[in-house]
Every structure is written in structure tokens, then in C-alpha cells.
Structure 1
Amino acid sequence: MAAVMPVPAASRVLMSGNEAVARAVWEAGVKVAAAYPGTPATEMLEVVSTYPDVYAEWSVNEKVSLEVAIGAAYAGSRAFCCMKHVGLNVASDALMTLTLTGVVGGLVIAVADDVGLSSSQNEQDSRYWGRFAHLPVFEPADSQEAYAMTLAAYELSEKFQVPVILRLTTRICHVKALVTVGERTPHTGAGFAKNPARFVMVPGNAGKRIPLMFQRDGELRAVAESSALNFVEAGGDRRIGFIVSGPAYMHVKEAFPDAPVLKLGFSHPAPFGMCREFAAGVERVVVVEEVEPLLETELKAQGLAVIGKDVLPLQGELSPAVLKPAIARLLGESVPESASTAAPAPIFPRPPTMCVACPHLGVYYTLSQVRNLNISGDIGCYTLGAGHPWNALDTCVSMGASMGVALGMDKGRGEADKDKRVVAVIGDSTFLHMGMQGLVDMVYNRGNVTVLLLDNRAVGMTGGQNNPGNGRDIHGGEAPRVDFVALVKALGVKEERVHKVDPYQLPVLFKTIRDEVKVPEVSVIITDQPCVLTQDYRRQPAYAVTEDKCTGCGNCIDVGCPAIHVTRRGKETKASGREVDLAFVRIESSVCTGCGLCLQPCAPKAIEPWVPASPLRLVKEGAPA
């Protein structure tokens, strides 16, 4: 990422929520920032890394990133850690003890919840961690609040020596708004002061810290009651009053501009006194929160007759289109019609797929050709192998789960699976994140699993970030590179069972997979070609289909490359009388990178190097010569 241009104090800048948080982190004098990439949180650390005077790193997983931030905060420096919602699950082991030790320098943990499931395997609500870990939670509603609340979180963190959770959602992370920014305020850490009774959490020490945690809860609730981050907006229509937090506040204001609203930016510990006073001034109270009824449940426990998920959905964003009919039904009014009653225009479906020439294409094409497999998948670009045309992924649970799930499939196989071979698929970054432990377990317990370790030298799904497997740090500078062959051998895989193959060489890949799944022990096949969107990829001259040679067999389509298009379909009657479908194709030469995957299954050799018809066509399509 390019360096951030200097922005004068009090300037108004168009920023996403992620950018606004990063700016505030820099202004707050943070010294150490760490994260593992994960949509929608990724850009926070990417932007932080461009500011001067901040040490920033991509950690191997979220737990390590939080532990790095904890160490800096113990040393008195301000620290920052960010992750997506499922990442906090990984970091929670450290989090649940951190709440007892507390911090010295301010520590803010930004957690981005993927409300609406734009790029995640679940839609969990990270506000639970505030309750579970007894930590304050701030919930911004737009980019300006994301900026301001980050600065406020550092002040609160240091005053109470407690980490603060900044809970964002996809809408806050990615939508841009004008933000008034300032300048950096230097913050110098005092250094680490040895105090084993506080920082060494053996049972005897931890037990003494628990009463302090509960005492802190009460103090923080008192602060929330008077915090400027929580405020009431009066309205003329007092039939319904809304208690709301996060981006849902914007939706409520758009849908019901004349309704009273209690807006909670400091949402945990909840200011019950403010809520009770607000409820007394309206006929009915609706709690609008994404996605779980946390505050609603707490207020009901306080004896307040509030309404929430009785009328609102338990998943997805609470947009005006969702709120208006729900509240209309609650009031006994006619449900408003949608703004647009016209039928949507038919659109050809475009499911997510891999990139043109992606090195994973050959892997999944090959897996789709090998029969009698159970394939355990993982989190990354290669999760798309579950889709058309490959249909070559059977499970996907969490980061690194392919390893343990595959071992469980092996050990728990029933009569119907006794002859099936088990394959685990995992990417390089995911393997370093949480897959190594699974491989150790697999070797130790003598599993019968073939592991496909797809090394594309990037954290591909989140934008091609660097990791320890590609030899570059967060700034693109040279860094030690993990040798995956040496690593898996060190984890116990026999040397003869470790193979490194080029995923663009389909015959070699097919033979290696076919041979290894027959071996009744752990084997690892490492594919080693870079992601096509990174600087490591080397584009080759493009290919085209020679129409006169194309028989319409459609074998090239099964590779799944998006550069291949069906131009027309037909049918052919075989000598046996059986009618077969034909698909005549063309290659979009302007995007073809010349990887050669489609050539290999093409029986009539109809795919040949592309020759531009004229210099004008070459310029227009931007294809290689």
C-alpha cells in the first residue's frame, strides 16, 4: 500500500470506518499494532502500517496478534489489535485472562462483525465478548464516530487499565463518510514494571484479581450512565421510542426521523438508568440491535417492558426496508409497499469463482476427476472449490479445521465410507494460522489422510497480504520465508510422503494425488505457484480457441477458468444412438494469462497461442503480444 499523504489537523477527509480507526490509532500515539487479515477488518492494519512511528505486523493468527499487543500494553505503550468476529474466537484464550491482569498502556481491540454474511462462515455477535470478558464495548455508527470512539477508547483504557472492544460491522468498516481529523499526540510508555501478583496468572494470583474485575464493572457502568457517547434525541412522535446502537442508529433515523431515540455508543456496561428514564417518556420501547437480543434481554431482566426480536429479525442488517414494515405491524398500521414494485430484470447468475489462471483451478479440477474421495476443506480462496464446476469440497468449518475434520473422518468412518480416501485441503496462510497443530495431531495419531497444502504465497482471499510463507513483511520488505517442505517433515511427515508439484501440470498432479491417496498413512502434497494477483506471478502469452478444431466436448469448461466462455450449445447423436450435449467455447484473450491449464484436457488440440487480428485489437483488449 502506498504511503498515506499528510493530512493537516482539523481537515475533513472522506474515510471508510477502517481508515478512520487507523487514523485515530496513529493520532492516539499507538506504538505497536498487530493483526491477521480478515474481511471486513483487513484494511485497518493495512492503513496503520502506512503511518510513521507505529510498529505494525501481520501476525500468524489473531491470538498471537493480541498477545503482541498485550505485551506492548504491559510495557506501558499504547497498542492496537484488530480482527474479524471469528478471529476473536481464536484470540479469546488470551482475552479471558487479559481481563484479569488489565493493561498499563491503552489497548483497543477492534472487532469487525460481518453482519449480513458478506464474507464469513457465520454471523456471530461480538458484543457477547464484552459481557463474557467483562470489558467495555464501544459501538460507532459511522466513520466519524469510529474515529472519535477510538480516541476515547484509549483514554478509558488507561484510566481503568482495561482493554476496550471497539465493535464495528461490515457497513461501518467499508462505507465512507467525512471525518474531521487531528494530529498525532506522542505517548511514551513507562516500561514494564515487574509485578508477578498481577501479570503471572497462576490460580493463587488470578483469584485475587477477580474481585477487582467485578469492582471495575460497577465503575464502568457509572461512567456509561454519564458518557457523552450515550445520548437522547427527542422526537415528536412518542408512540415508539428506539434504543439503538451501532449502524442501526442510522437506519432508525432514516426510517423514523420524528421518533425519540436513545443512542448508545458506550453500549456495555449498559446504562440502565438512562434506559429506564428514556422508557418512561414514550409509550413503547423498541430495542434495535444487530444481531442478537443482548441489550433487550438485559433490559427485560431489569424489569423494562421493551420490544425487540419479537418483531425484528435475528439475522442480517436492520435497514429501513426491514424496520418500516415491522414497526407498522407493531402499531397495527398497513404495511408500506416496497418503493419499487417493478419485477427485477432477469440476470444471468454469477456465483463467486476463482480468478483467471488461479493455481487452485488445477487442484480442484483434478480432485473432481479422482473418484471415491471425502474432501475436508478450509477457509480461503480454495473454499470456492465447493462450487461449480468442481463440486470438490465436502466440509468447511473454521480456520485450520480441515486437518482435524479429516482425521475424524478417517477414524470415524462407517461401513459406507470404508473404501473412501480422505483428503484435507488447506492454504499456506491458513496452515501457518492454525493448521500445523492439526497436522501434528494427524501424524501423532497415525491418520490415513492425504493433505493438499496449497501454497500461493499470499493471504489470497483478503487481498493478497504477505505472510511468513512468501518472504516479505507487511511493508513489502524482505523477511525470512518458511520452507513448507522442511516444515512438514519437521512435524513428522515421512520424507517419501512429501511431494512438491506444479499445479499447472495436470498429469503430474493427477498421478501424485491418485498415488498418495492409496498410501495408508499421512502424506502431504504441496502445490507451489503464486496467486495471480500478486507481484510473484509471471503472465504468459494468451491462448485462443480455433473454432474449426473445437468439437464442443466441453472438457476445458470443467477446469473452471472464468476466461473461458460458452458461445453456443448443441447436441450430437453418437453411433450408439445416444444424444450428447456439446458446448462450443471461446477464450477471453484480454484476460487470459497463458497458464495453459485448459490446453491439457482439450482432446482435439483446439486451444492454441492467440494471434491478434490487428495492432488495433491488441491495444483495445490489452492482451500480451
Structure 2
Amino acid sequence: MSAVSTAPAPVRLFLSGNEAVALAVRDAGCRVAAAYPGTPSTEILEALAREPHPGLYTEWSVNEKVSLEVALGASMVGARAFCAMKHVGLNVAADALMTITVTGSEGGLVIAVADDVGMSSSQNEQDSRYWGRFAHLPLLEPADAQESYDMARAAFDLSERFSCPVIVRLTTRVCHVKGRVIPGTPERHEPRGFVKDPRRWVMVPGNAKPRVSSMYERDLALRAASEASPFNRMVEGSDRRIGFVTSGPAFMHVRESFPDAPVLKLGQSHPLPLAQARALAARVDQLLVVEETEPLLETELRAAGIACRGKDVLPPTGELSPDVLKPAVARLLGEPVTELPHAPLQLLFPRPPTMCVACPHLGIYYTLAQVRNVAISGDIGCYTLGAGQPWNALDSCISMGASMGVALGMDKGRGEIDAKRSVVAVIGDSTFMHMGMQGLLDITWNRGNVTILLLDNRTVGMTGGQENPGSGRDIHGEEAPRVDFAKLCEALGVRKERIRVLDPYQLPVLFKALREETKIPEPSVIITDRPCVLIDHYEATPPYRVIADKCTGCANCLDVGCPAIHVTRRDSVVKPSGKTVDLAFVRIETAACTGCGLCVQPCAPEAIVHAKPEHPVKFLHKQI
């Protein structure tokens, strides 16, 4: 009679890639975790903070550079440390990163970077795998949630084995797609303590130069480790006409599209395991490198003398899904190309991204749209949407904090043609603290003629309402010191008389202040102080409705841009002058309206009034 196993069944969880990384960080015995929120990486730190673990400190840092420096400090005292960011955030952290690659790390130091392949929520599409090459660091690429857990956890051991940071490169597809995860047994790691070693940690040239050679020695050891890594594996296949080298979620697309083809699946993609790639190339007629987005592996394989195809067959941007792979490979093999069937597109009413009902930024852009002869330098955040309809009130948006430097450049570079044009910079509270403060200091120091609109909504709105130093709460929602933006701007060189704190729902006051400040030839700051409608600080008031008989169809209320206002019918009338005027009659969705009153102020016929109190309203914004 066979024995019956009494071992407990393994725990199975259903997690996104971000949640799986967070669990791995916790189970690996990490002591310090820091990040700046940015889609698609935000949920990693949120998950860590949501379930506090004894001995694990978590924080939202003011920017990605600071988060990496906090993690490095923890590593220097022998603790395991972690930081997370999106791809453009690693650009910000690169100043610290490129020196840490020389110093190395002590306690396990893991950097999770999330690439937004396809640019669903980013201003560019960059390939963070370059940082593994540039910084001479090992780089791991999970393809699903289980690998996100396994690789993030293994990254701490790899970091301590080679005394260097390890990069875990995720993509949007991995970050947000959920899958089954079987976690391992949690570990506990105690910090070993800080050992003073100025030759290692004080990176003056005399100390840095001798350490560079050890970085290249580490490269050789890492290459050998990559050849033996369990994360690099050969998936056998019977169809030898073509073989694939791939990594990350692209592996899933390859297996779905070509289940009979042999595949070299790279989990530790840097350093590249050339011996395994060379072995696969010898067994197939053609070798195709499938990678999102840059041809890094392809270039390295060709440099090593391994014949392969890549971006000459596949597109250089976007996800390499089956509907992209199958036609491309069919052409490569000389087979008929079968176009995948597509459902006919329905004629839908266009739904561009817009701001929320009663968003405090609505009044800002309504006002800016009324101001003439002004150049508006924008920034990264919810308020970037001011570039769209109906406002069309942003002229540039480049990177975090760029509104300040761009505005100063506009001011200093303008010629006679722009002599009478005012320059305005628009920036949010979290972005200002992330990278805008230095720009404002540059404006005041160099006597720039710029008016700054600092939009304080007490949260990091675009990425989901995270706390920041201006919200008065920390990552756990506990009370924390709150930045006084007026005093901060004064400390950065703006004269106290040129700093105004206003309610963005008061349109006449806002318009008057903007008109006055843009005429004064020195730096000035207008701070708008209203909380985001999606956070607990916001207090709704009774909603409004439209008296249909009084509405003249002037559409002034539509210029505010509030999505709670709906057009019920359109009409046109011909005036005695012969001019045709388009009319738009409206109603207000009272279930969404929070009573901010923005639409009331431009309504000339006074057709917008409070809804009757006997009709109770459930505010939808509290349910989001």
C-alpha cells in the first residue's frame, strides 16, 4: 500500500507582476524599499506599503535619484534594499547609478525598472536593457508573474554574490497582467553593519580609478554566471526552419505563435549567454531575435559572429504580439501571409482623455485659454491634459520639471517678434518637488520673466493619488510634515509680493491674478490650493442642474471642460448680420457633479442652479 503524502499543498496566489515583485522583496528579507510613483511600476511600492512587514521600511521618495540613494545607503550598512521606477525614472537615477556600478553594493541591492512598451502612459519608449550594458550590471527579464517573483527574489542573492546592484527589467505587459504565483519560504536577513572604507565609498578620482578594473573583472564573472543561469533555458522544438532568441513577455508571444520552434529563452539577458545562442544557431536554418524594443541582443549576436535576423524583419517599436510575429515570420520563410481577421471598426463617438469632474485644474486651463499672446510651458501630470480640447492651453511638455527650464529658455531666447508675449510655466505639486524646484531657482537666480502656475492638489494624481511631501501624510497615510509652497517659493528667490495662493474654482480672481502677474517683468508664482476630487481631502457640495427653459445654447459652460456636462441637442441660427451661430444645449449629470461651481460662473443666462435637495445624490467620485 503506497504512502499518502501529508505535506501541505503549496500556496497559490493570483498576482500581477508588480504584486509578485513586492512579495519577493518582502520574502527576501529586504529592509528598505523606496520609489517614486510612475506607471507601470507604481503598484510595487503600493503593495509593499499596503501590507507592512516587521523590519521593512517603505517610502515614497521625492524622485527616483533619491530613492536609489536611499536604497544604496541601506545596502552600505549591509541591509537588503530595493527601489522601483518606470523607465524614464532611471534616467533621473542614472547619476547615482553610474557611480554605484564602480563602488558596488554590500547588502543585496535590487532595482526594478518598468518599461512602457507601446507608450500607453509615457512620453517616450526607451529600452532599459541598455543600462545593464552601460552600467556593467546583471539584468533579469521576467516573462510573467511567477518569474517576476522568482527573479526579483533571486536578484538579491545575485547582488550579494557579485557585490553589485541587479536590474530587474519589467514591461507594462508583465507589470499589470495577473497570473498564478507559488511563493517560496520567507527569509530573514539582518544587516551586517557599516564598515568604514573610504577607498570604496568616497568616490574621488583617486579612489574611483583603481575600482574601474574590478568592474571589468566582474563582467567576466557575470558572463560565466549567465551561461549557467537557470533563467536562461532552451525550449526544444521540432521545426528547425527557424529558431528564436527572445526574452521577457516576447517569449510568451513566440511560444503562442510558433509552438513547434526551438527557442532560447533569456531570463538573465545581460550578459548574453553566447555559447547557448551559438548552439541554437547551429541547429536551425535561420535564427530570429525577437526583442522589445531595441536590437540589443541582435547587435551582440552579430558582433560575436552569429548570423541572425531581427529588426530587419520585425518593427522597432511596440509589443511584438502574435498578430505582428506571424506575418513577419511568414514573409521570412517565404510562406503566404495570412492576415489575421479584424472586426470592423464601429463608428464611435470620440472619447479623448480628459480631466475628472470638478478637477481643480479645469479652472486653470479655462482661464489660460482666455489669455491672449502667451506661451505656456507644461509639465508631466494630470494637467498635461490641458493640451487637449476644449482648452488647447499647453504649448510644450517634455519631461518632469522641464516646464521651468523651457520657460526660462523661451524668455531669454525670445526676439522682437515675441517681445510682448508673456511666458507661463505650469507645474504640479509633486512634479515641482521632484525636479521643478531647481528650475525655479534657476529662474530667480537668472532674473527670468516667467509666471509660474503651481497646481497644488495634495497628491500625485496621474499615477493614482499617492502621497507626497505636500499632502501632509506619508506612504502609510500617517500624519507627516506638509510643505508650505509659498514659503518654499520665497526661499527659492521669488519676492513675497509676487506669490499668490488662490482658489482655482474662483475664475474671476484667477483670471485677474494671471493677467496682472504676466504683466510684471519678474518671476511670480500663483499657487492654486484645492485637493484632487479623488482623495479624502476633497469635500463635495450639492450638485447643479440646468434649467432647460433658460439655457440659450451659448455653450460657455462647455469651455470649462467638465465631463459632467452633456450636450442634449445642437442647433444653428442665422443672425441678422448673416453670421451663423452654433448652439449647444446642455444638461448636467447630477450623479457625477460635486458642486464645484465652475460651470456656473461663465453661464450668462443663469441657467445653472443647485439641484433640489430632496433628490439625494450618491457622488461617483468617492467610489473610484
TM-score, normalised with respect to structure 2: 0.97
Residue identity opposite 2:245 in structure 1:
I
1:343 Cα deviation from its structure 2 partner: 1.5
Query: Residues of 2 paired with 1:575 and 1:591: CA distance?
Result: 39
1:556 Cα deviation from its structure 2 partner: 0.3
Query: Residues of 1 paired with 2:470 and 2:10: CA distance?
Result: 41
Query: Residues of 1 paired with 2:622 and 2:477: CA distance?
Result: 28
Distance 1:257 1:529, change over 3 A: same
Query: Residues of 2 paired with 1:579 and 1:287: CA distance?
Result: 60
Is 2:31 aligned against 1:31? yes
Count of residues in correspondence between the two structures: 614
RMSD, aligned α-carbons: 1.5
Residue of structure 1 in register with 2:304 after alignment: 302
Is 2:206 aligned against 1:204? yes
Query: Residues of 2 paired with 1:478 and 1:623: CA distance?
Result: 22
Is 2:591 aligned against 1:609? no
Query: Residues of 1 paired with 2:376 and 2:618: CA distance?
Result: 44
Q: Any stretches of 5+ residues in structure 2 without a counterpart?
A: 1-7
Contact 1:243 1:262 in 2 (8 A): yes
Residue of structure 1 in register with 2:47 after alignment: 47
Contact 1:590 1:622 in 2 (8 A): no
Residue identity opposite 1:310 in structure 2:
D
Contact 2:86 2:114 in 1 (8 A): yes
Residue of structure 2 in register with 1:574 after alignment: 575
Residue of structure 1 in register with 2:505 after alignment: 504
In structure 2, the residue corresponding to 1:105 is in which secondary structure? Answer: coil
Q: C-alpha deviations, 1:588-609, integer Å up to 9, x for none? A: 1000000000000000000011
Alignment of 1:130-209 (within 5 A): 130-209=132-211
Residue identity opposite 2:413 in structure 1:
G
Q: C-alpha deviations, 1:233-273, integer Å up to 9, x for none? A: 11111111000000000000001111110000000010111
Residue identity opposite 1:419 in structure 2:
K
Query: Residues of 1 paired with 2:218 and 2:359: CA distance?
Result: 52
In structure 1, the residue corresponding to 2:234 is in which secondary structure? Answer: strand
Is 2:410 aligned against 1:414? no
Residue of structure 1 in register with 2:5 after alignment: none
Contact 1:539 1:593 in 2 (8 A): yes
Distance 1:498 1:173, change over 3 A: same
1:10 Cα deviation from its structure 2 partner: 3.1
Query: Residues of 2 paired with 1:266 and 1:183: CA distance?
Result: 23
1:622 Cα deviation from its structure 2 partner: 11
In structure 2, the residue corresponding to 1:63 is in which secondary structure? Answer: helix
In structure 2, the residue corresponding to 1:462 is in which secondary structure? Answer: coil
Residue of structure 1 in register with 2:551 after alignment: 550
Residue of structure 1 in register with 2:3 after alignment: none
Contact 1:362 1:506 in 2 (8 A): yes
Query: Residues of 2 paired with 1:43 and 1:110: CA distance?
Result: 12
Is 2:289 aligned against 1:287? yes
Query: Residues of 2 paired with 1:623 and 1:126: CA distance?
Result: 37
Contact 1:26 1:51 in 2 (8 A): no
Residue identity opposite 1:39 in structure 2:
T
Q: 2:279 aligns with which of 264, 277, 280?
A: 277
Residue identity opposite 1:29 in structure 2:
G
Residue identity opposite 2:44 in structure 1:
M
Residue of structure 2 in register with 1:246 after alignment: 248
Q: C-alpha deviations, 1:92-122, integer Å up to 9, x for none? A: 0000000011111001000000001110000
Residue identity opposite 1:87 in structure 2:
G
Contact 2:257 2:322 in 1 (8 A): yes
Q: 1:75 aligns with which of 54, 74, 77?
A: 77
Residue identity opposite 1:167 in structure 2:
R
Query: Residues of 1 paired with 2:122 and 2:179: CA distance?
Result: 25
Residue of structure 2 in register with 1:5 after alignment: none
Distance 1:622 1:257, change over 3 A: closer
Contact 2:443 2:523 in 1 (8 A): yes
Query: Residues of 1 paired with 2:215 and 2:52: CA distance?
Result: 35
Residue of structure 2 in register with 1:431 after alignment: 432
In structure 2, the residue corresponding to 1:153 is in which secondary structure? Answer: helix
Among all aligned residue pairs of Structure 1 and Structure 2, give the percentage whose two residues are the same amino acid. 68
Q: C-alpha deviations, 1:554-600, integer Å up to 9, x for none? A: 00000000000111100122232211000001111000000000000
Query: Residues of 1 paired with 2:35 and 2:341: CA distance?
Result: 42
1:146 Cα deviation from its structure 2 partner: 0.3
1:463 Cα deviation from its structure 2 partner: 0.4
Residue of structure 2 in register with 1:218 after alignment: 220
1:151 Cα deviation from its structure 2 partner: 1.1
Distance 1:9 1:393, change over 3 A: farther
Query: Residues of 1 paired with 2:446 and 2:190: CA distance?
Result: 50
Distance 1:620 1:135, change over 3 A: closer
TM-score, normalised with respect to structure 1: 0.97
Query: Residues of 2 paired with 1:10 and 1:500: CA distance?
Result: 57
Q: 1:261 aligns with which of 238, 260, 263?
A: 263
Contact 1:12 1:178 in 2 (8 A): yes
Residue of structure 2 in register with 1:559 after alignment: 560
Is 2:320 aligned against 1:314? no
Residue identity opposite 2:550 in structure 1:
K
1:619 Cα deviation from its structure 2 partner: 7.3
Residue identity opposite 1:521 in structure 2:
E
Is 2:591 aligned against 1:590? yes
Contact 1:591 1:623 in 2 (8 A): no
Query: Residues of 1 paired with 2:283 and 2:619: CA distance?
Result: 66
In structure 2, the residue corresponding to 1:262 is in which secondary structure? Answer: strand
In structure 2, the residue corresponding to 1:235 is in which secondary structure? Answer: coil
Which segment is superposed worse, 105-114 or 325-334?
A: 325-334
Q: C-alpha deviations, 1:439-466, integer Å up to 9, x for none? A: 0000000000000000000000000100
In structure 2, the residue corresponding to 1:122 is in which secondary structure? Answer: coil
Contact 1:40 1:174 in 2 (8 A): yes
Contact 1:292 1:314 in 2 (8 A): yes
Residue identity opposite 1:114 in structure 2:
D
Distance 1:612 1:324, change over 3 A: farther
Distance 1:450 1:619, change over 3 A: closer
Query: Residues of 1 paired with 2:154 and 2:580: CA distance?
Result: 71
Query: Residues of 1 paired with 2:622 and 2:444: CA distance?
Result: 47
Residue of structure 1 in register with 2:332 after alignment: 330
1:196 Cα deviation from its structure 2 partner: 0.4
Contact 2:594 2:619 in 1 (8 A): no
In structure 1, the residue corresponding to 2:40 is in which secondary structure? Answer: coil
1:621 Cα deviation from its structure 2 partner: 8.8
Contact 1:22 1:45 in 2 (8 A): yes
Query: Residues of 1 paired with 2:92 and 2:39: CA distance?
Result: 15
Query: Residues of 1 paired with 2:310 and 2:620: CA distance?
Result: 54
Q: C-alpha deviations, 1:391-448, integer Å up to 9, x for none? A: 0000000000000000000001133322110000000000000000000000000000
Which segment is superposed worse, 580-589 or 568-577?
A: 568-577
Query: Residues of 2 paired with 1:464 and 1:614: CA distance?
Result: 30
Query: Residues of 2 paired with 1:162 and 1:621: CA distance?
Result: 48
Alignment of 1:395-474 (within 5 A): 395-474=396-475
1:620 Cα deviation from its structure 2 partner: 11
Residue identity opposite 1:283 in structure 2:
D
